[in-house]
Chains A and B, each alone.
Chain A
Amino acid sequence: DAGVTQSPTHLIKTRGQQVTLRCSPKSGHDTVSWYQQALGQGPQFIFQYYEEEERQRGNFPDRFSGHQFPNYSSELNVNALLLGDSALYLCASSPTGQGSYEQYFGPGTRLTVT
Chain B
Amino acid sequence: AQSVSQHNHHVILSEAASLELGCNYSYGGTVNLFWYVQYPGQHLQLLLKYFSGDPLVKGIKGFEAEFIKSKFSFNLRKPSVQWSDTAEYFCAVSPYNTDKLIFGTGTRLQVFP
Query: How far, in angstroms, from A58 to B98 measured CA to CA in the complex?
Result: 12
* CB atoms of A44 and B32 under 8 A apart: no
User: Quick one: closest B residue to A101, CB to CB?
Assistant: B99
Query: How far, in angstroms, from A45 to B1 measured CA to CA in the complex?
Result: 14
- Chain B residues near A98 (CB-CB < 8 A): 97-99
- Chain B residues near A42 (CB-CB < 8 A): 4, 6, 90, 92, 103-106
- Chain A residues near B69 (CB-CB < 8 A): none
Q: When each residue 74-114 of chain A gets 1 if its CB lies under 8 Å from chain B and 0 otherwise, what string results?
A: 00000000000000001010100011111111111000000
Q: Which of A45, A100, A104 contacts B51 (CB 8 A)?
A: A100
**Which of under 10, 10 to 19, 20 to 34, or 35 or more describes the interface residues of A?**
20 to 34
Q: A41-B106, A42-B106, A100-B51 are in contact. Are A33 and B43 (CB under 8 A)?
A: no
Q: Which of A33, A40, A107 contacts B101 (CB 8 A)?
A: A33
Query: How far, in angstroms, from A102 to B32 measured CA to CA in the complex?
Result: 10
User: Quick one: closest A residue to B42, CB to CB?
Assistant: A107
In the assembled complex, 17 residue pairs joining A and B whose CB atoms fall closer than 8 Å, in A order, are: A31-B99, A33-B100, A33-B101, A42-B6, A42-B103, A43-B44, A44-B103, A45-B102, A48-B100, A58-B100, A98-B99, A99-B99, A101-B99, A104-B46, A105-B43, A105-B44, A106-B43
